[in-house]
Amino acid sequence: MGLVTIGQAPRTDLTGDIAPLLTGVRAVEHGALDLDRFDGTEAEANRTRREVGPVEGEAPLISRLRDGSSVVLGHDALAP
């Protein structure tokens, strides 16, 4: 089963709740931000946050990063 998140995988805060329901099923996690850098220098992290953030007038989406921190995203930044 594939689990997709708008943030980064793994989402240990979610998989612990659903794992008992997936007995015998292998879960594969992928996050829309898995390849984005939030753990480099502060300048790199800030640049990435600006790139994925909402534009003026766009409703913000908030998701979790793999280190447990959060990020504010824009829908347009996530759209393929």
Gap between the Cα atoms of 55 and 61, Å rounded: 11
For 55, residues 6+ apart whose C-beta sits below 8 A from its C-beta are 74, 76
Gap between the Cα atoms of 73 and 23, Å rounded: 33
Structural domain including 54 reads 2-78
Q: What total of structural domains would you count in the chain?
A: 1
pTM for the predicted model, two decimal places: 0.77
pLDDT by 10s per residue, the chain, length 80: 888 899 999 998 888 888 899 899 998 999 999 988 888 888 988 999 999 999 999 999 999 999 999 999 999 888 87
